[in-house]
Chain A
Amino acid sequence: MLTKTSFQGKLTKTENLFIPFVVAGDPTPELTVEYAKRLQDEGADILELGVPYSDPLADGPTIQRAAQRALKAGMSLRKAIQLVPKLREAGVEIPVVIFTYYNPVMQIGHEALFDMLEENGAEGVLIPDLPYEESEEIRELAEARNIEFISLVAPNSDQRIQRIAESAKGFLYCVSTLGVTGERNEMSAEALSFIKRVKEYSQVPVAVGFGVSSYDHVKLVNEHADGVIIGSKIIRIIEDGLEKIKNGETEQALNDFSSSISTLIKG
């Protein structure tokens, strides 16, 4: 019998998943902990903790701005992973997936990365520029360490869809539309038929990201997939509160954040 990974152990449901993305250190590490706590309070099931990168190829302008703020605050892959115990201290219990580009991983080293993930209690890792063909070694290491390596699949993955979906761990990240992350106004029929195809092969929950930005999107996606990943929209909500934080009204900014997230997820 297969033993459960700690990710699976912590995941309390497998549908209607709400998977928010925040950039570690945007605008400060302390506030990232606060946002994470608030997101959990609003029903987040998994937290994607983004590591800021100088050259984020898969991200649109909103997340690039967040990365710039976090880099300015001194954030790095190492420090982002070390933020996980602080999330736990603050009461964040949901699984945490570290989202990082590959170059910082290469500098730390594969083994050392998993040592750090293990020591700090992160349950998963997602590397957006490490496609299936380049990730064999990391996937094997992840499996050996009981850490979930989260895969992405896109509508134009074509004949690779089955292979990627069948080997997916944790949850499968479906890129709903072609393009970099950002908010879009509607879900296309093609995107929905693609999700259906992915679900046929996947043994893990199928979550949709890239462009989910309103309650209507959330409802629509949840009718067809097992969850939503929301990044850019959450960063926008964080940005809405930056002025207040600068003026020392942090508590007010955090309350506004909670209520905006609630509207986004629950209508």
Chain B
Amino acid sequence: MLQVFPDIKGRFGDFGGKYVPETLMGPLQELEEALDQALEDPAFHEEYHHVLKEYSGRPTALTYADKMTDYLGGAKIYLKREDLNHTGAHKLNNAIGQALLAKRMGKEKIIAETGAGQHGVASATVAAKFGLECKVFMGEEDIRRQELNVFRMKLLGAEVVPVTSGNGTLKDATNEAIRYWVANCEDHFYLIGSVVGPHPYPRMVRDFQRVIGDESRRQFMEREEALPDRIFACVGGGSNAMGIFYPFLEDDVELIGVEAAGKGVHTPEHAATLTKGTPGVIHGSKTYLMQDENGQITEPYSISAGLDYPGIGPEHAHLFQTKRVRYESITDQEALDALKLLTVKEGIIPAIETAHALAQAFKEAPKMSEDETILINLSGRGDKDMATLMEHFQEEVE
């Protein structure tokens, strides 16, 4: 029997905790109490699952990728279709859960951070749905790169706050969102988009994403009358991976988290936090991160904005340290190749983030036997990545 994590101090083994300014200790305590009460209340679960079903379209499908399986030869490949969620990715599961909690706590204003804009869009969406005021903090550089998502958020009625500090990316947007929350915590709810941040965020986001793994387990048993042999998921902050891994932690299932190797883990341009990083504290949590020898946090790089984060959720750090999950890394080019392959073989255009998990699975599948099975979390669809994909594939398709 695995020990239950996090413990009462919000730790996953050596990782997690609350490394925050004193002014946030009160609001975090308030959040923790509200979350505990909500999770023990059957009415809250009922409402959450009702919204997931009627608004987001859950359960999402489990798709047998027969063409990919034939093409690669080896293990049977299944896809958990989080791309079929409303707004196009797993992010909405968590946004719905936290928005319902915000309402329950009587907070009418939410704030969120976003990198590529997927979590920003999910937050703006639930804000519109539940009548909340929404501010999304987004780095100036990301605003420039993700014009379309910025417009989506504004159209949904959210205010997009440009962040100019640091390099103007997700790390800085998160800093600014935390600073704003410190100053306005009395009536604002901070809706974090991944399994990162101080306790209880990593646990809360995991619990709102575990629906992915719970559904997968049921669907897999129906189809195969067994659990998958291996599960693959991409990891930036790590919420889609925690969501699908968590219900399988105690089973004899191999779990593989796939980080972004950018231009290669032997270059400075990557976002492979566990592969290349070291333990430290980022955004209120002890975990692995990318930093220099003086403990200054460094900028990551990946073609996929959603994996472009210098930290990783503390529970992943724990699963890495205890070797329960194997972490691999995939370069930009390998991800693009896998994306293209799935698109032509299965008619599914995945997000570039997701393509990292696909690439690793496609490497391993041919080496496995035909009676083994693989489950890949297809965390999001590629619509948001068309500009990037056009840069890479325009000539090839014409």
Chain A residues at the B interface, C-beta cutoff of 8 Å: 53-58, 60-61, 64, 71, 76-78, 101-108, 128-134, 152-154, 156-158, 160, 164, 175, 178-180
Could you give 20 example pairs across A and B, Cβ below 8 Å?
Answer: A54-B296, A55-B171, A55-B297, A57-B182, A58-B23, A76-B296, A103-B281, A106-B286, A130-B19, A131-B25, A134-B18, A152-B22, A154-B23, A154-B25, A160-B25, A164-B22, A175-B23, A178-B23, A178-B186, A180-B179
Contact B20 A57, beta carbon cutoff 8 Å? yes
Identify whether the interface residues of B are mostly helix, strand, loop, or mixed.
mixed
Other-chain contact of A77, B21, B22, B294 (Cβ < 8 Å): B294
Contact B23 A179, beta carbon cutoff 8 Å? yes
10 closest pairs, A vs B, by CB?
A179-B183, A104-B295, A156-B26, A107-B295, A76-B294, A58-B21, A54-B296, A152-B22, A154-B23, A103-B281
Q: Check B293 for interface membership: any CB of A closer than 8 A.
A: yes
Q: Check B74 for interface membership: any CB of A closer than 8 A.
A: no
The answer for the CA separation of A54 and B296 in the assembled complex, in Å, is: 5
Q: Check B314 for interface membership: any CB of A closer than 8 A.
A: no
The answer for the CA separation of A54 and B294 in the assembled complex, in Å, is: 10
The answer for the CA separation of A105 and B291 in the assembled complex, in Å, is: 13
Q: Check B97 for interface membership: any CB of A closer than 8 A.
A: no
Contact A104 B20, beta carbon cutoff 8 Å? no
Number of residues of chain B lying within 8 A (CB) of chain A: 39
Contact B281 A57, beta carbon cutoff 8 Å? no
Contact A106 B280, beta carbon cutoff 8 Å? yes
Other-chain contact of A131, B20, B282, B294 (Cβ < 8 Å): B20
The answer for the CA separation of A180 and B25 in the assembled complex, in Å, is: 14
Contact B17 A104, beta carbon cutoff 8 Å? no
The answer for the CA separation of A175 and B26 in the assembled complex, in Å, is: 13
Residues on A with beta carbons closer than 8 Å to the beta carbon of B171: 55
Residues on A with beta carbons closer than 8 Å to the beta carbon of B282: 55, 103
Closest to A56 in B: B175
Contact B20 A106, beta carbon cutoff 8 Å? no
Other-chain contact of B297, A54, A129, A132, A179 (Cβ < 8 Å): A54
Q: Check B369 for interface membership: any CB of A closer than 8 A.
A: no
Q: How far does the Cβ of B30 sit from chain A's closest Cβ, in whole Å?
A: 9
Residues on B with beta carbons closer than 8 Å to the beta carbon of A102: 19, 281
